[in-house]
Amino acid sequence: MYENFVLEELDVAGVRIRVRHGGSGPPVVLLHGHPRTHTTWYAVAPRLVAAGFTVVCPDLRGYGGSAKPLTDAEHSPYSARAMSGDVIGLMELLGHRQFAVVGHDRGMRVAYRTALDHPDRVTRLVVIDGIPTVEALERCDAKFAEAWWHWWFFAQTANPAERVICADPETWYGAWDKNGPDQLGAENHADFLRAIRDPATVHAMLEDYRAGVGIDRRHDEEDRAAGRQITCPALMLWSTRDDMEDLYGDPLAIWRPWCPQITGHGIESTHHIAEQAPAALADALRDFLQDRG
């Protein structure tokens, strides 16, 4: 897995970030979702290297082998803004002032926040399987609540979800069925198991959701009120066997006020697209990232 990539831990402004990187050419950073680690990209990253890119795959703070900072009342250490700062600092350490950013699921929220907060750094943006946080929360109805009830369960602090999940994390996360080694690949699955078995990682991953319904929403509201937009070319991809179109119809219509240059399409896959449809995803990323039109 990740042949010819370097695996290391780097200090990014006092936060230890585990990262794997390799290749040469234009840099692109790939940001994973919940409850994955950077190894979710194991079948995508080498394809992008072969296409002529430098590829950087970190564990988001709180996830996998990266640090788990102490939280606060607003959960701000786990906000998308804090995580986007990690991305900027990490890429600077690796010698990349400007780069493309790709994010899936929770990593999608970090990706678009990076583009909003640091427009001079992000050359191209790819968002996968998600819409802006405030847009999702404002559209929450019975259908969304039924399908994505875990958002609210994870966000609770009075009766924290950690007690339930850590009692049997492998069953909670379907580690031997829907998220088994046949679906994830043996080495990716092993990394996934190490993460979900660690109570500190479970807590930090839930802090990400707590930040999402609070401080992340507020940051989105402030940007929208100020008329801030993502100015670089953007691509949205979604898994056709997930519920993106069922929930939102045309998700591009929701993104356009945020990203005037956005285009996109669905890919035949379930939610964890990097593992289920890596060739199709890598092809879509390559075509978008190589397009200089």
| Helix 186-196 and helix 199-211, axial crossing angle in degrees, nearest 10 | 80
Sheet strands (E) in the chain:
6-12, 15-23, 27-31, 54-58, 99-104, 122-128, 234-239, 262-267
What is the dihedral angle through the alpha carbons of 273, 275, 277, 279, rounded to the nearest 10 degrees? 120
Q: Which residue has the tokens 């031997």?
A: 176
Q: Which of 59, 105, 191, 208 is catalytic?
A: 105
Q: Give the integer Cα–Cα distance in Å for 97 and 45.
A: 20
Q: Give the integer Cα–Cα distance in Å for 244 and 109.
A: 15
Q: Which of 32, 104, 203, 271 is catalytic?
A: 271
Q: Give the integer Cα–Cα distance in Å for 189 and 10.
A: 23
Indicate the length of the chain as a whole number. 293
Active site residue 105: yes
Active site residue 271: yes
Q: State both tokens at 116.
A: 């909003």
Q: Give the integer Cα–Cα distance in Å for 39 and 19.
A: 10
Facing residues of 163 across strands? none
| Helix 106-117 and helix 80-93, axial crossing angle in degrees, nearest 10 | 70
**Enzyme catalytic residues:** 105, 271
